[in-house]
């Protein structure tokens, strides 16, 4: 959230839509919910379910555990852009989260074509592509295995401590976010070390 917060402050003149599972019930008094409320208020965002009160329904539904809660939200910076918001309940849904649907209506201001400028012609946008067919697969799997395997023990210990009640939900969330960043870092480092790249024209 800190990263999104900083980007929102940096580009406060831009409209934005932020959607996702926030792992907390907004309006409750736990630390995560209070932090999320601070983020929403500071960034002048509005929840779509506040615009359509009939859609203030459970978005997480786990029938086998007999659990449900409202923890998925779509936040917008300009309420006039939102023409429709619905929490869908499809007949086939492989997730225990219900999909959120939002319809936006906005106009795009045409920008001058900068591609004709000499300095722009000299630089063709490219997108790096990983050549997995040329990768050193053995080294890649060895590297990722050595670095990711210890994380399994950390997660098991975290799970046990949470079930025992010795760690709070906020700390669990922080740990999961930290683990996520570590996993991404390991995969990125492994790809840089063992998977060659080539640059392909983006357009």
Question: Do residue 70 and residue 136 come from a single domain?
Answer: no
So what's the pLDDT on residue 202? Answer: 45
Number of domains in the chain: 2
Question: Do residue 100 and residue 6 come from a single domain?
Answer: yes
Q: How far apart are CA 15 and CA 143, in angstroms?
A: 41
Are the beta carbons of 22 and 60 closer than 8 angstroms? no
So what's the pLDDT on residue 149? Answer: 84
Q: How far apart are CA 114 and CA 108, in angstroms?
A: 17
What domain range includes position 6? 2-104
Question: Do residue 127 and residue 75 come from a single domain?
Answer: no
| Residue 49 within any structural domain of the chain | yes
Contacts 24+ apart (CB under 8 A), 13-17: 14/77, 15/76, 15/77, 15/78, 15/81, 15/106, 16/45, 16/76, 16/77, 17/74, 17/75, 17/76, 17/77, 17/102, 17/104
Question: Do residue 95 and residue 27 come from a single domain?
Answer: yes
Q: How far apart are CA 185 and CA 178, in angstroms?
A: 11
| Residue 196 within any structural domain of the chain | yes
Beta strand 67-69 with 72-76 is unpaired
**pTM tops 0.75:** no
Instruction: Give the end of a domain, one of 55, 78, 104.
Output: 104
pLDDT 10s per residue in the chain (203 long)? 777 888 888 888 888 999 988 888 877 777 788 888 888 888 888 899 989 999 999 999 988 888 899 999 999 988 888 999 999 988 888 888 999 999 988 776 666 555 555 555 555 555 678 888 888 999 889 888 888 888 788 788 888 888 888 878 877 887 787 778 778 888 888 888 888 887 665 44
Identify the CATH number of the domain in which residue 63 sits.
3.60.10.10
Q: Can you say whether residue 146 is alpha, beta or left, with left for phi > 0 and alpha for psi between -120 and 50 degrees? A: alpha
Question: Do residue 90 and residue 16 come from a single domain?
Answer: yes
Question: Do residue 126 and residue 95 come from a single domain?
Answer: no
């Amino acid at each position: 959230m800190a990263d999104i917060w900083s980007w929102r402050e940096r580009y406060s003149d831009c409209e934005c839509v932020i959607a996702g599972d926030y792992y907390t019930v907004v309006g409750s008094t736990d630390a995560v919910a209070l932090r999320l409320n601070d983020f929403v208020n500071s960034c002048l965002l509005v929840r779509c379910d506040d615009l359509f009160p009939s859609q203030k329904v459970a978005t997480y539904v786990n029938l086998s555990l007999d659990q449900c809660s409202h923890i998925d939200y779509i936040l917008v910076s300009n309420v006039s852009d939102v023409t429709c918001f619905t929490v869908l309940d499809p007949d086939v849904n492989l997730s225990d989260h219900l999909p959120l649907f939002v319809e936006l209506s906005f106009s795009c201001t045409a920008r001058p074509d900068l591609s004709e400028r000499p300095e722009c012609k000299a630089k063709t946008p490219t997108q790096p592509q990983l050549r997995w067919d040329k990768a050193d697969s053995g080294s890649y799997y060895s590297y990722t295995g050595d670095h990711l395997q210890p994380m399994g023990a950390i997660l098991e210990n975290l799970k046990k401590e949470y079930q025992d009640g010795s760690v709070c939900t906020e700390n669990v969330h922080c740990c999961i976010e930290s683990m996520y960043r570590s996993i991404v870092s390991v995969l990125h480092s492994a790809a840089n070390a063992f998977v060659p790249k080539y640059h392909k024209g983006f357009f």
